[in-house]
Structure 1
Amino acid sequence: MEQVLLLHSSTDGQTIKILNYIKEELGADCQCTMQDLNVLPTIDWQQYDRVLIGASVRYGHLNKKLYQFIETNLEALNQHKVAFFCVNLTARKEGKNTPETSAYMKKFHAKSPWQPKLQAVFAGALRYPRYKWFDRVMIQLIMRITGGETDTSKEVEYTDWQLVSRFSTEFKQF
């Protein structure tokens, strides 16, 4: 049975939801372990056949813990089968939802010494009722500027699950 490590840097849970979906897509022949990247775990890389890192964008940035993890584990990341995806609300728009067209992936590539061979960008979810007041107001302002949903009573999931499914297949064959 293949051993797969799923690492997440999630703010509101959509990245974890996507990883759980991928876990289901990988099927019974994969034993998956999920860990929070934000606690900077120590990884026994030899224990895993492949690793998937999912990270969310908040206020235009990936979590600094992601970059710390990359710096600490750069050699292992380059030597093992490790894929990466980022989750953000901008990816809800066509033309901003691929590694080549996403501004956040471009920032990631410029900032990170690790350049994953397999990567993806997924649209996240808007969960206004769950946000604290400050986050709700700031995200509403950002959505107003970018032409998105501004009704703070709504929750909207923008994730394209067919795209996630295709990526899952690529990851399994990676």
Structure 2
Amino acid sequence: MINTLILYSTVHGQTLKICNAMAEQLRQCGEQVTMAAIDEAPALSEFDKVLIGASIRHGKHRANVYDFIREHQALLDSKITGFFSVSLVARKPAKNTPETNPYMQAFLEKSGWKPQLMAVFGGNLDYQGYGAMDRNIIRFIMWITKGPTDRHTCVEFTDWQKVNRFAQQFAAA
């Protein structure tokens, strides 16, 4: 049985929600799946495959994602790996692939890591779930990028069929 580790870095929970959906699919494919926050990762040596999901916060992946990859890159390079990024920018068709998403491209350049499989998914926009400062920053970013700015907006931009396809690709790897 293939032993798979899914690690996540999430702020508002959408990345964790996506990881849970992928974990269920991988289990249905016969894999043994362990999930953990990236800061609580078990020993990578115990796993055949590692999948990392990370959200964007104010235009960047969190520092703990880069720290983890830097610390474990040799082990990651010896395994089947995948990485996906979750952001509101990925709601746009011109920015929803690893090749066209500026956050994914910045991640690849900064991390120096090249996972075998990569994906980009749209996130969740829930103004009422944010604190005042985050709500105002995100509304401003949405205004600049021509997204929804009504403070009562709650919309999930995640393409769940795309998530399922990526999980199937990762299972087949």
Q: TM-score range by the shorter chain?
A: over 0.9
| CA spacing shift, 1:42–1:19, aligned 2, 3 Å | closer
In 2, Cα distance between equivalents of 1:90 and 1:59: 11
**Deviation sequence 1:90-149 (CA, Å, 0-9, x none):** 000001000000000110111012111210000000011110000001100100110111
2:86 aligns to what SS in structure 1?
strand
Which residue of structure 1 lines up, in the alignment, with residue 2 of structure 2? 2
2:144 is equivalent to residue 145 of structure 1: yes
Q: State the TM-score, normalizing by the size of structure 1.
A: 0.95
2:95 aligns to what SS in structure 1?
coil
2:15 aligns to what SS in structure 1?
helix
Which residue of structure 1 lines up, in the alignment, with residue 111 of structure 2? 112
CA drift at 1:2:
2.3
Equivalent residue letter for 1:52: L
Structure 2 gaps, min length 5? none
In 2, Cα distance between equivalents of 1:86 and 1:42: 18
Structure 1 gaps, min length 5? none
Count of matched residue positions in the alignment of Structure 1 and Structure 2: 172
| CA spacing shift, 1:169–1:4, aligned 2, 3 Å | same
CA drift at 1:27:
3.0
In 2, Cα distance between equivalents of 1:124 and 1:42: 23
In 1, Cα distance between equivalents of 2:17 and 2:135: 21
Q: State the TM-score, normalizing by the size of structure 2.
A: 0.95
1:5 aligns to what SS in structure 2?
strand
Which residue of structure 1 lines up, in the alignment, with residue 76 of structure 2? 77
2:143 aligns to what SS in structure 1?
helix
Which residue of structure 1 lines up, in the alignment, with residue 37 of structure 2? 36
| Percent of aligned pairs sharing the same letter | 44
CA drift at 1:58:
0.8
Which residue of structure 1 lines up, in the alignment, with residue 46 of structure 2? 47
In 2, Cα distance between equivalents of 1:42 and 1:5: 9
Which residue of structure 1 lines up, in the alignment, with residue 13 of structure 2? 13
Contact preservation (8 Å) 2:7, 2:41: no
Equivalent residue letter for 1:135: D
In 2, Cα distance between equivalents of 1:95 and 1:76: 33
Matches within 5 A, 1:61-140: 61-140=60-139
| CA spacing shift, 1:127–1:2, aligned 2, 3 Å | same
In 1, Cα distance between equivalents of 2:95 and 2:110: 19
| CA spacing shift, 1:8–1:42, aligned 2, 3 Å | closer
In 2, Cα distance between equivalents of 1:13 and 1:44: 24
